[in-house]
């Protein structure tokens, strides 16, 4: 006998069924992911803020672009005696300054003094480079927008000029406010300026001064030279810069127009330092002329410039103050 059962649902065993290809979001994992994104964004923002506050961030863009109302001057040899004083004057008058120096004669300490005085971005930058390296010079000019150049990178010691002639300055003095001075490197002192030898003798670094030549046809037998204060020299350059026009050339004698004998210089140095410096008189030095002094008529007429600091003893006293306060030159700053 066939029994037909009516259709009805049969109970099935309960079991879990994995859902392939689908995952339910884990709240903890989502929270960690969002946190990482926020942390990355925060760190990026902090880096950008720090870069913007860094002197190099804004400085690079300012030095590489011409800016209306701002004159960007390249000062070669700007770590040296004359160049550093020129850079100081330019910065005081709100020029933008780039110093390029290979430090063979200059002092990084002088640059550091200027950096402390003018720390604002876009005011001053220092580039260590040798102007004899054409590739380096091309790179400097390609990365900077210069409006003018003051060229002080040179070998200008008198002693060396007798071996390898060049023109040289008889520059004396230093910054009246005592921020900068002349600090020749020890190995170059023998060839340095007479003012440096005078101060070394006053300090006792050398036993005395050596005056070469006492038989010249001058009123006291010693050479006559035109000694110009570094502040006046820089002032002449700044006035020439302000008057400069593209395509026009001006060549000027820069000096006091008055010659002083070496003996007169030595006596002024003794009074300025208060030291009775020993003086040895020796035979002439090769290549020295009896009298060399400038005729500054042209620069007076065209640029309205005349030397103001013409008191030899006063200029030496100002320089001596810096020398006494910096027995080791810029060594401390370096």
CATH number at residue 301: 3.90.25.10
Say yes or no: 244 and 323 in one domain. Answer: yes
Q: Please tell me whether residues 144 and 236 are part of one structural domain.
A: no
- If one counts the domains in the chain, the total is 2
Distance CA 179, CA 96 (A): 19
pLDDT of residue 32: 73
Residues 266 and 304 in one domain: yes
Position 51 confidence tier, pLDDT thresholds 50, 70, 90: low
In this predicted structure, the answer to whether residue 71 has a pLDDT above a threshold of 70 is yes
- Six token digits for residue 103: 């430090």
β-sheet bridge partners, residue 100: 76, 127
pTM, two decimal places: 0.79
Residue 160 in domain: no
Using a 10 angstrom Cβ sphere, with 0-12 exposed, 13-18 middle and 19 or more buried, the burial of residue 260 is buried
- Quick check: 225 and 293 in contact, CB under 8 A? yes
Percentage of the chain exceeding pLDDT 70: 80
Cα 108 to Cα 115: distance, rounded to the nearest angstrom = 10
Same domain, 140 and 287: no
Q: Which of 154, 182, 212 is the last residue of a domain?
A: 154
Half-sphere exposure of 292 (CA within 13 A, CB side): 14
pLDDT tens digits, one per residue of 144-184: 999 999 999 977 655 555 544 484 458 999 999 999 999 98
pLDDT in tens, 122-135: 999 999 999 999 99
40 located within any domain: no
Q: Which residue has the higher pLDDT, 52 or 129?
A: 129
CB 241 within 8 A of CB 150: yes
Per-residue burial over 16-55, b if 16 or more Cβ lie within 10 Å, else e, is: eeeeeeeeeeeeeeeeeeeeeeeeeeeeeeeeeeeeeeee
- 3-state class (DSSP) for residue 100: strand
Q: How many residues does the chain have?
A: 334
Choose one of 121, 154, 187: the last residue of a domain: 154
How far, in whole angstroms, is CA 62 from its chain's centroid? 18
Q: In a 3-state reduction of DSSP, which class is residue 125? A: strand
Above 60 in pLDDT, residue 231? yes
273 and 327 together in one domain:
yes
Q: What share of the chain is helix, strand, coil (3-state, %, to 5)?
A: 40, 10, 45
What range does the domain containing 193 cover? 173-333
Contact 62, 121 (CB under 8 A): yes
pLDDT digits (tens, 9 = 90+) for 247-278: 899 999 999 999 999 999 999 999 999 999 99
* Two structure tokens written together for 160: 């060396």
User: Tokens representing 245?
Assistant: 């026009």
Rg of the chain over Cα atoms, rounded to whole angstroms, equals: 35
In this prediction, residue 303 carries a pLDDT of: 97
Residue 330 clears pLDDT 70, i.e. is over it: yes
| Domain boundary pick from 127, 154, 181 | 154
159 three-class SS: helix
Q: How far are the Cα atoms of 17, 140, 182 from residue 98, in angstroms, in the given order?
A: 76, 10, 20
């Amino acid at each position: 006998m066939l029994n037909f059962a009516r259709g009805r649902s049969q109970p099935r065993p309960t079991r879990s069924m994995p859902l392939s290809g689908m995952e339910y979001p884990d709240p903890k994992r989502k929270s960690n992911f969002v946190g990482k994104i926020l942390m990355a964004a925060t760190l990026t923002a902090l880096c950008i803020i720090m870069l913007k506050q860094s002197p190099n961030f804004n400085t690079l863009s300012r030095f590489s672009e011409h800016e209306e109302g701002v004159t960007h001057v390249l000062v070669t040899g700007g770590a040296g005696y004359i160049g550093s004083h020129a850079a100081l004057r330019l910065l005081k008058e709100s020029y933008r300054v780039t110093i390029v120096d290979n430090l063979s004669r200059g002092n990084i300490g002088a640059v550091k003094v200027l950096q402390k005085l003018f720390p604002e971005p876009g005011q001053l930058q220092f580039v260590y480079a040798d102007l004899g390296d054409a590739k380096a010079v091309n790179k400097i000019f390609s990365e900077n927008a210069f409006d003018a150049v003051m060229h002080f990178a040179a070998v200008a010691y008198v002693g060396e000029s007798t071996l390898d002639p060049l023109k040289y300055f008889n520059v004396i003095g230093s910054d009246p406010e005592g921020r900068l001075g002349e600090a020749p490197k020890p190995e170059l002192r023998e060839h340095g300026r007479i003012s440096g030898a005078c101060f070394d003798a006053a300090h006792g670094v050398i036993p005395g001064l050596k005056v070469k030549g006492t038989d010249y046809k001058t009123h006291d037998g010693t050479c006559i030279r035109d000694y110009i204060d570094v502040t006046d020299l820089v002032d002449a350059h700044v006035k020439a810069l302000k008057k400069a026009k593209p395509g026009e050339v001006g060549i000027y004698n820069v000096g006091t127009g008055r010659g002083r004998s070496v003996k007169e210089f030595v006596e002024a140095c003794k009074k300025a330092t208060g030291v009775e410096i020993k003086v040895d008189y020796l035979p002439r030095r090769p290549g020295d002329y009896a009298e060399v002094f400038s005729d500054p008529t042209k620069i007076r007429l065209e640029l309205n410039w005349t030397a103001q600091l013409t008191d030899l003893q006063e200029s030496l006293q100002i320089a001596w103050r810096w020398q006494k306060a910096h027995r080791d030159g810029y060594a401390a700053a370096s």
